[in-house]
Amino acid sequence: MGAAQVNDAKRNSLIARMGRLKRYNGGVAAEVMPLVSVEEYFDGAEGEAPLWCNTGLGSDEDAIRDRLADLRARPEVLDLRIAVVNADDEEWPFSDKILVVTKEAAETIAALLPEGLAPDEYWEGDVDHLPTEPIAIPPGYRKVWMWYD
């Protein structure tokens, strides 16, 4: 049995979700990053989704999906999205950013991840040079970003 193949239709759909593109580092980047659910990001990747690639989980998509689902299911988390950053030719779109909608401080959210899966950086709110799709933030909630190198 051979290795699983990326679902090209789902890959192309995810890239189309990126909207207007600009050339970036041998591929393309979204001018405005889409914020997709965990399920949307991994659906069709067949083990090729490059997320958290520099952590102890490597490319174990099931483990990564489980960790993100566990975090999203916590009572202090209202929503969790993956920011689609760029896509190289023939590869699954890349992300190095997770957005958590929560009432908690960034430090508290980052500390909820298991040891070895802490983000390299985290912050609250938006950054001007990282525009994203709009997402509803109810009163009393904030955006917490986690970045993985």
Global confidence as pTM: 0.88
Residue showing tokens 């659906």: 43
Q: Are 50 and 94 in contact (CB under 8 A)?
A: yes
Is residue 17 within 8 A of residue 36, CB to CB? The reply is: yes
Report domain extents, the chain: 8-147
- Each residue's pLDDT expressed in tens, for the chain with a length of 149 residues: 345 688 999 999 998 888 888 887 777 888 889 999 999 998 988 878 777 666 666 567 788 888 889 999 999 999 999 999 888 777 889 888 999 999 999 999 999 987 777 888 999 998 888 889 999 999 999 999 999 87
Question: Which residue reads 């759909």 in tokens?
Answer: 13
